[in-house]
Structure 1
Amino acid sequence: MTQRIAVIGAGVLGLSVARMLALQGAQVTLFEKGTPGAGTSQISFAWVNANGKSPESYHRLNAAGIEAHKRLQRLSDAPAPWLLETGTWEWAAAPAVRAQLEKRLATLTTLGYPWQAVTRDALLKQFPELRLDSRIQQGWFFPSECLLYPALLIGWLQAQLRGLGATLVTQKEVLTLDETPEGVTLELSSGERWLGDRAILAAGRWSAELLTQLGLDLAMTDASRPDKVACSFLAVTDPLPIQINSNIISPELNVRPDGGGRLMLQALDLDEYADPARPASTEGMIGQEFLRRLRRLFIQTEGARIAQIAVGQRARPADGLPAVGYVSRHQRAYLLVSHSGMTLAPLLGELVAHEVLTGERPEMLADFAPQRLLTAFTGKSEGLAPAYLPAAQ
């Protein structure tokens, strides 16, 4: 019998798992309270990598995620490729930071993650407009890493879902979620009701709010408040005459191409000022600091302007690791939330669809069951079996 499956949330994770379910014959309905990709997916540095991610199981999941992206794009025949297989260039000036980087490189070597040392001359050849601190005599290149254009991936995934006959419901919020032994009932803000076999909760930073419908508290970083762990400034420039086709991680500034000569900028030490409720002005302190750092990094930036500064709000479980698996007594409600959604989307789409449709838990997901992050509160908690209800810590 064909399974009727709801996917709640049309970011890159929800779209990816919906596509894989539909490919394998499920009757899929995808619910999105706004427009696809309008949450975390559209405001992201979108660096596809496994660099410095721990523990080892998380590193290996992300490394497999890179390969899943490459494999999917090769098979996609997409008219506008979303993945840039450019690698990442990194260097450090301060001795303490360099020591941390070299320690990370040693760990990556044991994990078989590719990297290579590069000379100062190689950095200047790769980036002709670079102003390189005289202390920098060496850098490092990570050839397997990629950059992503999220909007192009989101567009391709939607086209795939239309071709597969899936239903996409937008501008309607899921207000209630109920599970019985027979299936799942969703009630929408429009007053409509959906009945089916299973629901996959891929609502990103709204996952904790959705899980209250099952009587559960999910430990997540609150991305609606100022928090440098959960929020990050992303600045985009006007077009510039700078020849960059790959990712740069430099001491003051992370830089990536954003199309049409525009650059996307990130400075993690500025994130302590990031507040979703108070947008930063392009002409204010944050905007001017981005420009100062950009001009220190590149020539030909005297006339640079910041076109936009957004605050990216990360969908980050409290311990930084993905939460993937069933969260309800009758295994009708399945949670899918991860900070590394850009890197992991195609891979998690495959793994989650496999578990939901076959009942077999992939080994790669063994360390990421959501129960470590769940506690019950009074309300509907009596509907949960002990296996899905960990003791409060």
Structure 2
Amino acid sequence: MSATKQVIVVGAGIIGASIAWHLAKAGAKVTVIAASGAGGAATPNSFAWINANWGNPEAYFRLRTRSMAEWTRLAHDVPGIPLKWCGGLCWDLLPAELEAYAAEHSGWGYGIERVDRTRAARIEPNLTELPNFALYVAEEGVAEPVAATQALLTDAERLGARIVAGAAVTALVQANGRITAVDTFMGRIAADEVVIAAGAGSPAIAATAGIKLPIETPPGLIVHSRPYKKLLNGLVIGDRLHMRQTAEGRIIAGSDFGGADPGMDAEATARELFAAMKSMLRGADGLELDFHTVGYRPTPIDGFPIIGRAEGVSGLYVAVMHSGITLAPAVGLFAAREILDDARDPLLELYGLARFTQ
């Protein structure tokens, strides 16, 4: 492995932080450039659900479950990552669809338990609305997103990485068909390779090198309560809303795990969502709304990650996706290997940028 390769990682969200840490761990000289602080723009607004849940083909399921396993390894290697395998109770599909999901994913090796109302009440005793039929996956969990990102960046610095905050990248610099540096408001920084992991900001950066990233950024509103006594044991993926309780006691919720469009009046939508959340929880009389967030999720137009080197120009690697919390450990590991050793993991085969031009 090239221990002297100089790599710039553009973006300090969970994906950029994981790539930077894995590169630094492997001996590369890493510079992380971030327009904002740790967590970037999308990561702080994440529901932070680690899962390989319904709605995806088997190849993507395999990538997600591999990354779930890598979370355990990463939390062991990096001090301070707040990882919890709290389990997820799910009933946000029609019963027939839940059964089809359970049959398919159980066949793939996902640890799904079919539960009735009585079992659901034992898992989450403070829910006022319980399903007649739900699915429970004990191996699903959460990683508090900003704290996990900060832990990765802090340990990357210990390993020799340089973190440059408040220095937005204005352009990629090319010479003879290769990216050789980035321009920032603080000056030009040279590198052997540049990684774009800037979430919703990635297309504008890539465009300066003539690279088109087909990404959408749908908004998602999530409400956050004030810290409160423990009401939830794990993730609740219900048909009306998705919610969990954070490590500091806040209950957060969205109408789906990424949050939904806040509409014309985000404040009103947030109040309605919080009221619905509060009505679903026994013992929540004193629960108060603290704030809401509207995140813009960097989502490739086919719904799957973009991970790999750009075509047509050397020295440029792209890592942009919506499922950043679930995928961060595996993407960091695989990207570092590919950048330093030119070894592309087979699990990434379907997720190169070239798929949009073929």
Match of 2:349 in 1: 366
Shift of 1:311: 0.8
User: TM-score scaled by structure 1?
Assistant: 0.85
Q: Secondary structure at the match of 1:364?
A: helix
Shift of 1:330: 4.6
Q: Name the CA distance, whole Å, in 2 between partners of 1:329 and 1:123.
A: 53
Cα gap change, 1:353 to 1:131, in 2 (>3 Å)? same
- Which residue type is aligned with residue 109 of structure 2? G
Match of 1:90 in 2: 90
Match of 2:155 in 1: 160
1:254 aligns with 2:242: yes
Shift of 1:40: 0.4
- Which residue type is aligned with residue 118 of structure 2? D
Identity over the aligned pairs, expressed in percent? 26
2:101 to 101, 104, 110: 104
Task: Map residues 168-247 of structure 1 onto 2, 5 A cutoff.
Answer: 168-181=163-176, 184-190=180-186, 192-221=187-216, 223=217, 230-247=218-235
Q: Name the CA distance, whole Å, in 1 between partners of 2:246 and 2:265.
A: 21
Question: Which deviates more, 38-47 or 49-58?
Answer: 49-58
Match of 1:265 in 2: 253
Shift of 1:269: 11
- Which residue type is aligned with residue 208 of structure 1? P
Q: Name the CA distance, whole Å, in 1 between partners of 2:348 and 2:35.
A: 28
- Which residue type is aligned with residue 185 of structure 2? S
Question: What runs of 5+ residues in structure 2 fail to find an aligned partner?
Answer: none
Q: Name the CA distance, whole Å, in 2 between partners of 1:269 and 1:330.
A: 36
Match of 1:386 in 2: none
Shift of 1:273: 4.0
Shift of 1:53: 4.2
Task: Map residues 20-59 of structure 1 onto 2, 5 A cutoff.
Answer: 20-59=22-61
Does the Cα contact within 8 Å between 2:310 and 2:318 map onto a contact in 1? yes
- Which residue type is aligned with residue 327 of structure 1? A
1:142 to 134, 137, 142: 137
Q: Name the CA distance, whole Å, in 1 between partners of 2:257 and 2:168.
A: 35
Shift of 1:208: 0.9
Larger Cα-atom Rg: 1
1:357 aligns with 2:311: no
Shift of 1:129: 2.0
Task: Map residues 67-78 of structure 1 onto 2, 5 A cutoff.
Answer: 67-76=69-78, 78=79
- Which residue type is aligned with residue 67 of structure 1? A
Cα gap change, 1:159 to 1:291, in 2 (>3 Å)? closer
Does the Cα contact within 8 Å between 2:70 and 2:330 map onto a contact in 1? yes
Question: What runs of 5+ residues in structure 1 fail to find an aligned partner?
Answer: 224-229, 374-389
Listed one character per residue, the Cα deviations across residues 249-300 of structure 1 (whole Å, up to 9, x for unaligned) are 112121101233320011139966425xx6722xx3x233223322431222
Listed one character per residue, the Cα deviations across residues 219-250 of structure 1 (whole Å, up to 9, x for unaligned) are 111x2xxxxxx221110112334431210111
Q: Name the CA distance, whole Å, in 2 between partners of 1:117 and 1:104.
A: 11
Does the Cα contact within 8 Å between 2:88 and 2:235 map onto a contact in 1? yes
2:300 to 317, 335, 358: 317
Q: Name the CA distance, whole Å, in 2 between partners of 1:271 and 1:194.
A: 37
Shift of 1:213: 1.0
Q: Name the CA distance, whole Å, in 1 between partners of 2:349 and 2:91.
A: 35
Shift of 1:75: 3.0
Q: Secondary structure at the match of 2:266?
A: coil
User: TM-score scaled by structure 2?
Assistant: 0.93
C-alpha RMSD of the superposition: 2.1
Match of 2:314 in 1: 331
Q: Name the CA distance, whole Å, in 1 between partners of 2:18 and 2:274.
A: 36
